[in-house]
Amino acid sequence: MTHDDDPPRPHRRHRHRRRRPDGATVSGVLTVLCVATLLTTLTVALLRPHP
């Protein structure tokens, strides 16, 4: 008997419910984005040739 002879079992899909992200996670992500933006702005401003 091969595996193909097994009765088809319904595949239960583990669909993750969209859980609301934690407030600390959102705060951390926003902080990282703000810092990255600030560093990028400063780098561009400092490296740009001044007239």
| Percent of the chain topping pLDDT 70 | 67
The average pLDDT across 9-22 equals 72
The amino acid at 23: G
The average pLDDT across 25-48 equals 96
Q: How many C-beta neighbours within 10 Å does residue 42 have?
A: 10
Domain that holds residue 35: 23-51
27 domain residue, yes or no? yes
Spatial distance between the Cα atoms of 51 and 48, rounded to a whole number of angstroms: 9
Give the residue carrying structure tokens 């193909």.
4
The total number of structural domains that make up the chain: 1
9 domain residue, yes or no? no
38 domain residue, yes or no? yes
Q: What is the pTM of this model?
A: 0.54
33 domain residue, yes or no? yes
6 domain residue, yes or no? no
Q: What's the chain's length in residues?
A: 51
12 domain residue, yes or no? no
Going by the DSSP 8-state scheme, the letter that residue 3 receives in this structure is G
Query: Alpha carbon of 45 to those of 5, 38, 50: distances in Å?
Result: 68, 11, 9
Q: What is the pLDDT of residue 51?
A: 72
